[in-house]
Amino acid sequence: HVQLVESGGGSVQPRGSLRLSCELSGSVKDLNCMGWFRQAPGKEREGVATFFPGDGSSHYADSVKGRFTISLDKAKNTLYLQMNDLKPEDSAMYYCAAETYYNTYDPFLFEHCLFGIGGQGTQVTVS
């Protein structure tokens, strides 16, 4: 199985930057794709970005295009989300998630990646 552990959240002023990290361990080779989604209080889960290791492609929600960048350091088995020009509406709990052959929570489909396993989340507050 795969474990995902997020870090890097925090509080930042508008137009600031943060970099989220997601350390992947276990059967990482079994991951078809990975990414980030977020959830603010009282709102539904919202996909943010996905990354496909097979071809190196990435996809973004329209709300973050041009501001966020997803990347994977294969040597470190760490997924990153660089967030620039942050806005108050970006405030949410951010979750690292991935698609594999099993699920540990209710799957969430975003940009062709079925997020079925994930971490505990890291809080991002922009104010």
What is the tens place of the pLDDT at every residue in 10-46?
A: 999 999 999 999 999 988 888 999 999 999 999 999 9
What are 55-80's pLDDT values in tens digits?
999 999 999 999 999 999 999 999 99
Chain centre distance of CA 122: 10
DSSP secondary structure code for residue 77 in this structure:
T
Tokens of 20: 């989220």
Torsion angles phi and psi, residue 89, rounded to 5: -70, -5
pLDDT of residue 111: 95
Classify burial at 125, counting beta carbons within 10 Å of its beta carbon; exposed 0-12, middle 13-18, buried 19 or more.
Answer: middle
